[in-house]
Chains A and B, each alone.
Chain A
Amino acid sequence: MKYYDKLIFELSKPGRTGYSLPETEQQLPKGIVWRETAPALPEVSEVDVVRHYTNLSQMNFGVDTGFYPLGSCTMKYNPKVNEEIAAMPAFTGLHPLQPASTVKGALEVLAGMDKALAAITGMKHFTFLPCAGAHGELTGLMLMREYHMSRGDLARTKVIVPDSAHGTNPASAAVCGLDIVVVKSKADGLVDVEALKALLGPDVAGIMLTNPNTLGLFERDIKEIAELVHGCGGLLYYDGANMNPLLGVVRPGDMGFDIMHLNLHKTFSTPHGGGGPGSGPVGVSDKVVPFLHIPHVSGFHGNFGVILRAYAYILMLGREHIKLAGKLATLGANYIKESLKDCYKLPIPTVCKHEFVFDGLLEDNGVSTLDVAKRLLDYGFHAPTIYFPLLFHQAIMIEPTETESLETLDAFIAVMRKIAEEAKSDPEMLHAAPHNTPIGRPDETTAARQPVLKYD
């Protein structure tokens, strides 16, 4: 990888431009207050700009460059046909304030997507307004609150979240003005149903669950959990971040969930993680439909380009093949887990879904999870998610997704085994990893304590 660390401002030479404008007699319009000095923009030629951004792009790592097993993020391949369809002028030329009669095609896409997502999840209807997962969570919780208030049930202020939950769950509940109550997990990583029973009562608005949970484990007691929560008058919210392994296998609606969001940018293959904006449509069951804001003929529907890409993905796979996605993602994760559990500590040795968590190396040579993750970069792999979930101190969370071939999985496994060997033979070298990347270990602490946020 070629090292390149220039800011475009550093290339600037006074008077240099990449364009020429004709002389003009035109005066600036009067009556407007114009700034007195020119903004400090870089003065560069076209070739400067092209080389600058091309060099920067070559230092980037994405799903188009290599394996990206970032747990909880579902970094599956983003098919290029999605991009072609989203780039069609008939879509890119749309304006939200256009008369509905002139955007029938776009409305058909939304109606088709609503139907497809309902079929995949077992929900009744979706709204496409939320622009990301956490936005969806907030929307969903507001629906939950609205549902209780419409029934005059005003005392329901508590939202139950498991201790393994994504951090966004309690954050969304807090933003929504609800109180968070944490339910503990048992030693097997699943929600402690007995502990949950003790929390239920007339003050519970609902529970937020990710299933499979953040350890990649399917909450097997979900039917009982649903009955208990419904029994006390609460609703169930499904955090769709981990929907990928369930595609075509089991539906949140059938598990008893009332409200959910999907991350189209994870499960439905649209670019994310710096590659593009998200989309977090919210689906609801029959009893919550009356509170759903479905402006069928309004122009504003969140990130329409993302919805379009996801719709292309669903139609490309079709009813039959989409069922394979979840199963193959699950198979890949279990394959890696079983192939590495003799060198990495597997705290919960059961079948996982699309992802799983190791708790560091099996043999303690003073090599941390951070060292392993940094060393992976030397071998050309993106690091997995590390130090999440918080239940394990040396957590390494691996999610391969269904788009990786057996050869890629084997190559990753071989490197992970090699790193485990290096941890025995040369731990010092791992403490100093990575050795082959443009930068190694940025000082995150100083960056957080004394951030430098502007160039001058």
Chain B
Amino acid sequence: MSKIADGLLYSESHEWVKVDGNVAIIGVSDFAQAEMGDITYVELPDVDDDVTAGEDFGALESVKTSSELIAPVSGKVVARNDALEDQPELINEDAYAAWIIKVEMSDESELDALLNAADYAKTIE
């Protein structure tokens, strides 16, 4: 059974969002890392890149497969977790501690389309 952290918002494509003012901290869920298996590479966007809700902003690669990272919100990348470049396993170890990017949101109403922990749990049953 994969963990679902309370207090976060989730997308159906298994990204989580932690809201900090107008900044969205984005990672992938424990379910996503378990499905992927051992993650071997994280492709990150650059700081100052624009991301668009529903479009890919990077990718995860594992021994088993590769998967695009889909932006849950639109905005500008203000930070990225460079540690993941050398230690992609951080996502496997704790998917909720290993944030991937931080985005300054251009439209906070996009958050309304995301799921709370209970509703996300239903999508992965």
Contact = CB atoms under 8 A, between A and B. Distances in A.
Contact of B40 (A387, A390, A445): A445
B63 A448 contact: yes
Contacts of B64: 387
Interface string A164-180: 00000000000000000
B2 to A, nearest CB: 13
B65 A449 contact: no
A448 B63 CA distance: 7
Nearest to B89: A449
B88 A387 contact: no
A449 B88 CA distance: 8
Given A449-B40, A449-B88, A449-B89, A444 B63 contact: yes
Contacts of B41: 448-449
Contacts of B43: none
Given A445-B38, A445-B40, A448-B40, A387 B89 contact: no
A362 B61 CA distance: 29
Nearest to A390: B65
Contacts of B65: 387, 390
Interface string B66-103: 00000000000000000000001100000000000000
Contacts of B38: 444-445, 448
Contacts of B88: 449
Contacts of A448: 38, 40-41, 61, 63
A183 B61 CA distance: 23
A144 B115 CA distance: 39
Nearest to A386: B64
Interface string B17-45: 00000000000000000000010110000
Interface string A376-394: 0000000000010010000
Given A390-B65, A448-B40, 8 more contacts: A387-B65, A444-B38, A445-B38, A445-B40, A445-B63, A448-B61, A448-B63, A449-B41
Interface of A: 387, 390, 444-445, 448-449
Interface of B: 38, 40-41, 61, 63-65, 88-89
17 contacts: A387-B64, A387-B65, A390-B65, A444-B38, A444-B63, A445-B38, A445-B40, A445-B63, A448-B38, A448-B40, A448-B41, A448-B61, A448-B63, A449-B40, A449-B41, A449-B88, A449-B89
